[in-house]
């Protein structure tokens, strides 16, 4: 979304089609953003897509059939929209779109946020015209022979310029907080992190003795009936996030590269709880260690 936001600000004459998962949270974010910017040339199309899980799940077998379906859906979408370029931000949703763009000879730019590139980016890199990296260190994970060395460009990780314009007073008012006790922001990504959520809820009586807690639980994860002074929970935050960022003194977050980039840009203190290798490829652990060494 950060890239799209800056793109729109630079030229409102472009037409943009955002292709995402049919059942993911991105559709809501895209439509809210389009309404906020009063940008009528931004559309969303959902595709069926398969995800490679790094643990045993019956869904892995089901998703083996979803991948080709997503590819053919992407072919139809690209043929109809006729884009001049396809921009991929990684993630399993992007793979069928990138492959379809290659078949239809549409130029592809792929961007990788993490230090260690994910499987989606490594697949996309084989067919992309240019691969944009957030870190110089990421190059070592690709085959950089003379034929392909010019394909990789270190651009950094773009963030939304909007998050730097938050107002502390607005953030405090949104949460019903006062300025006499430190504010801790806890967030676990768009889908939330139930392990982190449960820790917060279990420790809330002790935490509220010293801190005010604003808690982004993830879509569908609100704990109904939990109303305590000094505690405010949200499923997701969009426009208001910049003000909550401005109001908080400490951020507790997962180790996603985009979240860490925003924390670094805001120069906020943070406690990072990365996903472990049981449910991920360990990219968040490496992100957290790298950012701690570079910005800590």
| Per-position DSSP letters for 160-217, written without gaps between them | -GGGGG--HHHHHHHHT--TTS-EEEEE--TT--HHHHHHHHHHHHHHTTT-EEEEE-
Q: Residue 94 sits in which domain range?
A: 2-154
Name the one residue in this structure whose structure tokens are 């069926």. 48
pLDDT < 70 stretches in the chain: 1-13, 50-66, 144-147, 189-192, 278-279, 295-296
Split into its structural domains, the chain has a count of 2
Strand, helix or coil for residue 9? helix
**Residues contacting 283, CB < 8 A, separation 6+:** 114, 115, 116, 118, 255, 257
Using the 3D structure, point to which of 154, 169, 198 is the last residue of a domain: 154
- Helix/strand/coil percentages in the chain, nearest 5: 45, 15, 40
Using the 3D structure, point to which of 154, 188, 214 is the last residue of a domain: 154
State whether 44 and 108 are in the same domain: yes
> What's the pLDDT score for residue 65?
66
State whether 190 and 218 are in the same domain: yes
pTM of the model: 0.78
Closest alpha carbon to 232 in 209, 220, 214? 214
> What's the pLDDT score for residue 109?
94
3-state DSSP of 206-243: HHCCCCEEEEECCCCCCCCCCCCCCEEEECCCCCCHHH
**What whole-number distance in Å separates Cα of residue 120 and Cα of residue 238?**
26
State whether 13 and 144 are in the same domain: yes
State whether 120 and 221 are in the same domain: no
State whether 44 and 119 are in the same domain: yes
* Distance (Å) of CA 63 to CA 52, 57, 70, 261: 8, 10, 10, 31
> What's the pLDDT score for residue 202?
95
> What's the pLDDT score for residue 188?
80
State whether 150 and 180 are in the same domain: no
Backbone angles phi, psi at 180, to 5 degrees: -100, 0
Strand, helix or coil for residue 139? helix
State whether 19 and 122 are in the same domain: yes
**What whole-number distance in Å separates Cα of residue 2 and Cα of residue 196?**
26
- Asked if 88 and 98 touch (Cβ cutoff 8 Å), the reply is yes
> What's the pLDDT score for residue 214?
98
**Residues contacting 292, CB < 8 A, separation 6+:** 272
- Asked if 94 and 120 touch (Cβ cutoff 8 Å), the reply is yes
3-state DSSP of 59-99: HHHHHHHHHHHHHHHHHHHHHHHCCCCEEECCCCCHHHHHH
Using the 3D structure, point to which of 154, 189, 206 is the last residue of a domain: 154
> What's the pLDDT score for residue 199?
93
Closest alpha carbon to 16 in 86, 107, 75, 109? 86
State whether 93 and 179 are in the same domain: no
CATH of the domain at 176: 3.40.50.2000
State whether 191 and 68 are in the same domain: no
Structure-block tokens of residue 30? 């895209």
State whether 112 and 169 are in the same domain: no
**What whole-number distance in Å separates Cα of residue 134 and Cα of residue 235?**
28
Closest alpha carbon to 18 in 76, 120, 86, 111? 86
State whether 265 and 165 are in the same domain: yes
> What's the pLDDT score for residue 292?
84
State whether 252 and 170 are in the same domain: yes
């Amino acid at each position: 979304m950060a890239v799209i936001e800056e793109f729109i600000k630079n030229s409102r004459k472009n037409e943009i089609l955002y292709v995402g998962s049919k059942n993911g949270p991105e559709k809501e974010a895209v439509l809210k953003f389009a309404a906020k910017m009063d940008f009528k040339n931004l559309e969303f199309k959902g595709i069926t897509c398969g995800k490679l899980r790094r643990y045993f799940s019956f869904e892995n077998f089901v998703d083996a059939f979803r991948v080709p379906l997503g590819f053919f859906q992407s072919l139809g979408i690209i043929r109809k929209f006729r884009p001049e370029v396809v921009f991929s931000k990684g993630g399993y949703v992007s793979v069928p779109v990138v492959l379809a763009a290659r078949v239809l000879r549409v130029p592809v730019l792929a961007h990788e946020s993490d230090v260690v590139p994910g499987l989606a980016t490594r697949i996309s890199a084989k067919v992309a015209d240019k691969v944009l990296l957030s870190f110089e260190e990421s190059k070592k994970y690709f085959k950089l022979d003379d034929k392909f060395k010019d394909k990789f460009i270190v651009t950094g990780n773009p963030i939304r310029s909007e998050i730097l314009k938050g107002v502390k007073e607005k953030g405090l008012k949104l949460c019903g907080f006062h300025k006499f006790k430190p504010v801790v922001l806890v967030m676990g990504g768009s889908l939330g992190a139930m392990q982190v959520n449960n820790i917060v809820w279990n420790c809330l009586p002790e935490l509220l003795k010293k801190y005010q807690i604003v808690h982004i639980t993830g879509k569908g994860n609100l704990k109904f009936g939990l109303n305590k002074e000094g505690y405010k929970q949200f499923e997701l935050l969009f426009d208001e996030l910049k003000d909550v960022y401005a109001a908080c003194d400490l951020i507790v977050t997962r180790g996603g590269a985009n979240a860490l980039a925003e924390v670094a840009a805001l120069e906020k203190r943070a406690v990072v709880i990365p996903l472990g290798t049981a449910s991920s490829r360990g990219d968040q652990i490496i992100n957290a260690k790298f950012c701690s060494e570079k910005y800590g």
